Amino acid sequence: MVRKVKSGNLFHGISGLKNLLSRCYIGLIVLFLYAPILVLIVLSFNRSRSRVTWGGFTLEWYGQLFSNRQIMDALVTTLVLAFLSALIATVIGVLAALGIHAMRQRNYQIMMIFTNIPILNADIVTGISLMLWFVHFMPLGFGSVLIAHITFNIPYVILSVMPKIRQMNVSLYEAARDLGANAVYGFFRVILPQLLSGIVSGFFMAFTMSMDDFVITYFTKGAGVSTLSTMIYGEIRKGIKPEMYALSTIIFVTMFLILLAVNYWPEKKPAVREEQRF
Amino acid sequence: MNDVILQLDSVSKSFEGKVILNSLDLEIRRNEFITLLGPSGCGKTTTLRIIGGFEKPDEGRVLFEGTDITGFPPDKRNVNTVFQKYSLFPHMSVEENIAFGLKLKKKSGQYIKDKIGYALKLVNMDGYESRKPDSLSGGQQQRVAIARAIVNEPKVLLLDEPLGALDLKLRHEMQRELIKIKKEVGITFIYVTHDQEEALTMSDRIVVMNKGLVQQMGTSKSIYDEPQNAFVADFIGDSNIIDGIMKADRLVQIQGVPIPCVDTGFGKDELVDVVIRPEDLEITAPETGYLTGRVISVIFKGAYYEIKVRAGAYDWSIQDVNPAPVGSMVGLSILPDNIQIMHKPHSEDAQAVREEE
Give residue-wise pLDDT tens across range A121-180: 888 999 999 999 888 888 888 889 999 999 999 999 999 999 999 988 888 999 999 999
What residues of chain B, 106 to 145, have a C-beta less than 8 Å from chain A? 130-132, 134-135
C-alpha distance from B244 to closest chain A C-alpha (Å) = 48
Task: Looking at the structure, tell me whether residues A110 and A172 fall in a common domain.
Answer: yes
Which of A 255-274 lie inside 8 A of B, CB atoms?
A: 273
Q: Is residue A97 part of a domain?
A: yes
A177:B87 CB<8 A: no
Question: Does B132 sit within 8 Å of A276, measured CB to CB?
Answer: yes
User: Residue A47: inside a domain, yes or no?
Assistant: no
Interatomic CA distance for residues A91 and B281, integer angstroms: 69
Say yes or no: A174 contacts chain B, CB-CB below 8 A. yes
pLDDT at residue B6, as a whole number: 93
Contacts of B88 in chain A (CB under 8 A): 175
pLDDT at position A8 is 55
Number of H helices, E strands in chain A: 12, 0
Of B74, B130, B148, the CB nearest to A174: B74
A51 domain-assigned: no
User: Does some domain include residue A50?
Assistant: no
Instruction: Look at the pTM and tell me if it is higher than 0.80.
Output: no
B105 and A169 within 8 Å at the Cβ level: the answer is: no
Q: Which residue of B has its CA nearest to A192?
A: B91
Query: Which residues have a Cβ under 8 Å from the Cβ of B224 and sit 6 or more positions away?
Result: B200, B236, B237
Are B11 and B29 spatial neighbours (Cβ–Cβ below 8 Å)? no
User: Model confidence at A53, in pLDDT bands (50, 70, 90)?
Assistant: confident
Whether residue A71 contacts residue A65, with contact meaning beta carbons closer than 8 Å, is answered with yes
Does the CB of A101 have a partner CB in chain B at under 8 Å? no
Q: Is the pLDDT of residue A3 over 60?
A: no
Q: Residue A34: is its pLDDT beyond 80?
A: yes
* Residue (of B58, B65, B63) closest to B43 by Cα position: B58
Q: Does a structural domain hold residue A62?
A: no
The alpha carbon of residue A162 is apart from the nearest alpha carbon of chain B, in Å, by 18
Three-state SS for A197? helix
B100: nearest CA partner in chain A: A179
Domains in chain B, CATH or no CATH each:
4-225 (3.40.50.300), 240-355 (2.40.50.140)
Q: Does A152 lie in the same domain as A271? A: yes
**A37: in domain:** no
What is the model's pLDDT at position A266?
59
User: Does A179 lie at the interface with B, CB-CB under 8 angstroms?
Assistant: yes
Q: Is A79 found in the same domain as A190? A: yes
pLDDT of residue A235: 80
pLDDT digits (tens, 9 = 90+) for A69-97: 888 888 899 999 999 999 999 999 999 99
State which residues form the domain around A209: 68-277
DSSP B345: P
Residue ranges of alpha helices (H) inside B22-129 are 44-52, 94-104, 109-122
Reported in sequence order, the residue ranges of A15-97 that DSSP labels E, i.e. its strands, are none
Mean pLDDT of chain A: 85
- What is the C-alpha separation between A93 and A203, in angstroms, rounded? 10
- Residues of chain A in contact with residue B85, where contact means CB-CB under 8 angstroms, are 169, 171
Do A97 and A218 share a domain, yes or no? yes
A&B contacts, CB < 8 Å: 69
Largest CA distance in chain B: 78
Distance CA B310, CA B293 (A): 5
Q: For residue A193, which residues of chain B lie inside 8 Å, CB to CB? A: 89, 91
Nearest CA in chain A to B81: A178
Residues A7 and A138 reside in one and the same domain: no
Contact B208, B214 (CB under 8 A): yes
- Alpha-carbon gap: A93 to the closest alpha carbon of chain B (Å): 23
Do A16 and A150 fall into the same domain? no
Q: What pLDDT sits at residue A273?
A: 40
Rounded Cα gap, residues B251 and B260, in angstroms: 5
> What integer pLDDT is reported at residue B170 of this predicted model?
87
pLDDT at B355: 41
- Give me the residue from A171, A174, A179 closest to B104, CB to CB: A179
Q: Does A194 touch chain B (CB under 8 A)?
A: yes
pLDDT score of A268 more than 90: no
Domain count, chain A: 2
Beta-carbon separation of A193 and B73 below 8 A? no
Q: Per the domain annotation, does A59 fall within a domain? A: no
Q: Which of A169, A172, A177, A178 to mutate to test the interface with B (most CBs of B within 10 A)?
A: A178
pLDDT in 10s for each residue of chain B, 357 residues? 468 999 999 999 998 888 899 889 999 999 999 999 999 888 999 999 999 999 999 999 999 998 999 999 999 999 999 998 889 999 999 999 999 999 999 999 999 999 999 999 999 898 999 999 999 998 899 999 999 999 999 999 999 999 887 888 888 989 999 999 999 888 999 999 998 889 998 999 999 999 888 999 999 999 988 888 888 988 888 888 888 999 888 899 998 899 999 988 888 888 888 989 999 999 999 888 899 999 999 999 888 999 999 998 899 999 999 888 999 999 999 999 889 888 887 654 444 444 433
What pLDDT shows up at residue B133? 93
Q: Are residues A138 and A76 in the same domain?
A: yes
CB–CB contact A182 B75 (8 Å): yes
Which of A118, A97, A106 has the alpha carbon at shortest distance from A164? Answer: A97
Q: Do residues B264 and B221 touch, judged by C-beta distance below 8 A?
A: no
Say if A136 is an interface residue toward chain B (CB within 8 Å): no
Give the nearest chain A residue to B88 (CA atoms). A172
Q: Which residues, other chains included, contact B185 with Cβ-Cβ below 8 Å and sequence gap of 6+?
A: B122, B150
Identify whether residues A4 and A100 lie together within a single domain. no
Say which CATH number the domain at A93 has: 1.10.3720.10
pLDDT score at A274: 38
B83 vs A171, A182, A190: nearest CB: A171
Q: How far apart are CA B124 and CA A212, in angstroms?
A: 56
A4 part of a folded domain: yes
List of residues 6+ apart from B247 with CB closer than 8 A: B253, B258, B268, B269
**Do residues A157 and A235 both lie within one domain?**
yes
Which of B81, B107, B116 to mutate to test binding with chain A, by most A CBs within 10 Å of its CB?
Answer: B81
Do A6 and A92 lie in one domain? The reply is: no
Do A245 and A154 share a structural domain? yes
Instruction: Give B83's contacts in chain A (Cβ within 8 Å).
Output: 171, 174-175
Write down the pLDDT at residue A212: 85
User: Does B80 touch chain A if contact means CB atoms closer than 8 Å?
Assistant: yes
Under an 8 A CB cutoff, do A178 and B100 touch? Answer: no
Residues A26 and A110 both lie in one domain? no
Q: How far apart are CA B323 and CA B298, in angstroms?
A: 7
